[in-house]
Chains A and B, each alone.
Chain A
Amino acid sequence: MTVGGEQLLFVRQLVQRKTAIVLGEDKGYLVDSRLSSLARDLGHADATTMLDHLRKKPDLALEQRVLEAMTTNETLWFRDRAPFEALRQHVLPELARSGAGSRQLRIWSAACSSGQEIYSIAVLLEEHFADRFAGWKIDLAGTDFSVEMVKRASEGLYSTLEVNRGLPAASLVRHFDREGANWRLKPSIRSRARFWRMNLVEPWAPMPAWDIVLLRNVLIYFDIPTKEKVLRAASRQMAPGGYLLLGGAETAVGICPELVPEKIGDATFYRLEGREQ
């Protein structure tokens, strides 16, 4: 039996309530294929049996697995390239100057998936900024709704298909060790980043202010009021003079006026309105 009707509605409402992800009514096939493989993994006869189980009595662990199965985790190294070029050429040199007093650099990947985004920054820092940030306190953080993704990111273990995606070969051989069919990030990079679970649509626990916030390819799944709420919260988490980066198909324009777009190189960053120059 396939997931449909009332059960589909149940899943869509659960996903929207807990993650704010808006699942179109036409996504029945996706719900069905993703939950069928989860049901198989967990030893349920099929997806409908698993959902019946969940609807009868609350089971937070199962609920989390269902929610995680419904999120898209696709990510890659140096995604879209231009933002990372801009970080290398303009943003990081600027932060090296402006932060010379405190000698602290804080960067947060707010929906980090399996970690490629924040580790791309770690690779950039290692390859191009080792001297300029020598002796600095550098805090690289990644958070995600998914427990599974947080675990994967912390492990820093990637398949060949994953290292093929956007990672220059010279960086691959320099920063990874082959481990069976996979590739493990060397401790020199892996130890630079820390990861924890965080749901962007629930109240945020206290955090430091970040010099760079990467909030990429996650707002696309939210409705406008949720986008606004998350952007507001992110703007409050930016250090003075900080930078916010969104995904290629995302914008804060018309949603969060305190965030002002600024074209840097070939990428668009957002800065806080009225910040001191």
Chain B
Amino acid sequence: MKALVVDDSRAMRSILSRLLRKAGVDHIAEAADGCEAIACLDDDDLPDIALVDWNMPNMNGLELVGALRGRPEWRRITILMVTTESEQGQIVRALAAGAHEYLIKPFEEESLFDKLAILGFHQPVQGDSTNDFAHN
């Protein structure tokens, strides 16, 4: 499985990449904005999923979603927005533009895995975080 992480924060890109590796994704590319993301797409080797921030220079996340939906070859890329934009209207806009799922920053690790599961990529890690008191 291949993923593309698009975020202008280097720290956020590395957090997301680390979590994706933990979820079993082995090929991960990173881009700092929408333009870089488009530039690194290779039609013969497209990512299965793109994690897309909203607020970025040059081409923002919403524009990138529009671009990815605009070209037939790219339409099979699943899009997960990962952003601090948390207004209801913004979420609606992103979904209408073609994002498949939406994760609001800041988020807990598990919630990224939950979103991947919703998108059909990954069974959630069966955490034992609720088992603090389990005695077996």
**Residues of A participating in the B interface, judged by any CB pair closer than 8 Å:** 21-24, 27, 30, 70, 72, 74, 76, 80-81, 160-161, 163-166, 168-170, 172-173, 176-178, 217, 220-221, 223, 248-249
Complex interface bits, B81-122 against A, C-beta within 8 A gives 1, otherwise 0:
000001110011001000101111011101100110110000
Q: How far is the CB of A2 from chain B (nearest CB, A)?
A: 18
Contact of B87 among A30, A178, A220, A249 (CB under 8 A): A178
How far, in angstroms, from A172 to B103 measured CA to CA in the complex? 11
Contact of A173 among B95, B108, B114 (CB under 8 A): B95
Given A165-B114, A177-B88, also A220-B101 (CB < 8 A): no
Q: How far is the CB of A149 from chain B (nearest CB, A)?
A: 14
What is the chain B residue whose CB lies nearest that of A174?
B92
The interface residues of chain A, by DSSP majority, are classed as loop
User: When A and B form their complex, which 6 residue pairs have the shortest distance between CB atoms, in order from nearest?
Assistant: A169-B102, A164-B111, A74-B130, A166-B114, A22-B135, A220-B134
**What are 17 residue pairs bridging A and B, where the CB atoms are less than 8 Å apart in the complex?**
A72-B132, A81-B124, A164-B108, A164-B111, A165-B111, A165-B114, A169-B95, A169-B99, A169-B101, A173-B91, A173-B92, A178-B87, A217-B130, A220-B136, A221-B134, A223-B135, A249-B128
Q: How far is the CB of A179 from chain B (nearest CB, A)?
A: 10
Given A165-B114, A168-B101, A173-B95, also A23-B133 (CB < 8 A): yes
Contacts of B114 in A (CB 8 A): 76, 164-166
Given A161-B107, A177-B88, also A24-B124 (CB < 8 A): no
Complex interface bits, B12-32 against A, C-beta within 8 A gives 1, otherwise 0:
000000000000000000000
What is the chain B residue whose CB lies nearest that of A71?
B133
